[in-house]
Amino acid sequence: MNYSPYFTGRPDESVRNRALRKWTEMQYLYYHICQPAYRSGSMENAMWQVSNKEIKKFVFVQAIVSEFKFDRRLRMEEHCERLYDAFDGAQTSSVDMRLILCSYMNLVLFKTMKENPKHHFFTFYEIFCEPFSDEVKRSDLLNLMSMCATTDDEFKNTRVRLNKGLTNLSTVHGLKDNFKWVDKKLILEVFEVDPGLLIGFVDQCWARCSEEQRLQVLGKKEEDTAISFQYRDHKFKVRQACQLWGKVSE
């Protein structure tokens, strides 16, 4: 492999260490983008200014820094470089821009992913769709489904499971075993046959969120449960009071 002169990562770095570094740096970027001084910028705008699906390292760093105009004391260029180097394709300076955007969006959508797994997945799926189409390349779909995997086993099992589901359905629909394109209807069928595949995907997405984000969602659920309990308790006491008043009136 001919390494890019801009690649500063370790070629022998383990899959787990590289994945954990990717999400650590992505959470750092997300945290600062959420600060009031930088909310006027847009990650989507920064990425969609790139005409190609593959984005080179210096283009990525420049696009982010130019869009948000970070305080130089944050040294965001260095963080963006480390983030880029943690993605597949960084060694040859050919990272898929859509995977970067979807990884960022995973942190943005942390509040709803558990409530609506299908919506969470198809938000990313649509980013990968070809223009004016609901089709995604099979190879791209495999990359999307495993984007939040952090171990060799997670990465392998997710891809094997998805490939098996697609291959099994190919016989039902008369497709070739190695068909190259997948439409929305077909992936929905895969999830119907193997719902655990979608659940596993969202579980991996959830695990990549920060502890603070997860606690925020869990805290909101506890609050909603408490309010619901108080409301039911209030209705019960009102009903008791009405019954008691009825007996007194008699």
Domain end: 74, 108, 142, which one? 108
Closest CA to 98 of 74, 71, 79, 125: 125
Tell whether 76 and 120 lie within a shared domain.
no
Tell whether 48 and 116 lie within a shared domain.
no
Closest CA to 87 of 103, 71, 109, 73: 103
Tell whether 71 and 151 lie within a shared domain.
no
pLDDT for the residue numbered 130: 85
pLDDT along the chain (250 residues), means of 10: 65 88 95 93 86 89 94 93 94 93 96 94 95 93 96 94 93 86 95 95 95 86 48 51 55
pLDDT for the residue numbered 1: 56
Quote the DSSP letter at residue 74.
Answer: G
Tell whether 125 and 176 lie within a shared domain.
yes
Tell whether 47 and 91 lie within a shared domain.
yes
Q: Is residue 237 part of a domain?
A: no
Domain end: 80, 108, 136, which one? 108
Distance, C-alpha 14 to centroid of its chain: 21
Tell whether 76 and 92 lie within a shared domain.
yes
Q: Is residue 94 part of a domain?
A: yes
Tell whether 162 and 188 lie within a shared domain.
yes
pLDDT for the residue numbered 250: 55
Domain end: 73, 108, 143, which one? 108
Q: Is residue 52 part of a domain?
A: yes
Tell whether 87 and 152 lie within a shared domain.
no
Tell whether 49 and 130 lie within a shared domain.
no
Q: What does the longest C-alpha to C-alpha distance in the chain come to?
A: 93
pLDDT for the residue numbered 218: 81
Q: Is residue 241 part of a domain?
A: no
pLDDT for the residue numbered 234: 45
Tell whether 131 and 80 lie within a shared domain.
no
pLDDT for the residue numbered 178: 81
Tell whether 82 and 178 lie within a shared domain.
no
Give residue 85's domain range: 1-108
Q: Is residue 196 part of a domain?
A: yes
Q: Which residues contact 149 (CB under 8 A, 6 or more apart)?
A: 19, 155, 158, 204
Residue type, 77: E
Q: Is residue 229 part of a domain?
A: no
Find the length of the chain: 250
Q: Is residue 236 part of a domain?
A: no
Q: Is residue 161 part of a domain?
A: yes
d(CA 35, CA 160): 40
Q: Counting Cβ atoms within 10 Å, is residue 109 exposed (0-12), middle (13-18) or buried (19+)?
A: middle
Q: How many domains does the chain have?
A: 2
Tell whether 53 and 34 lie within a shared domain.
yes
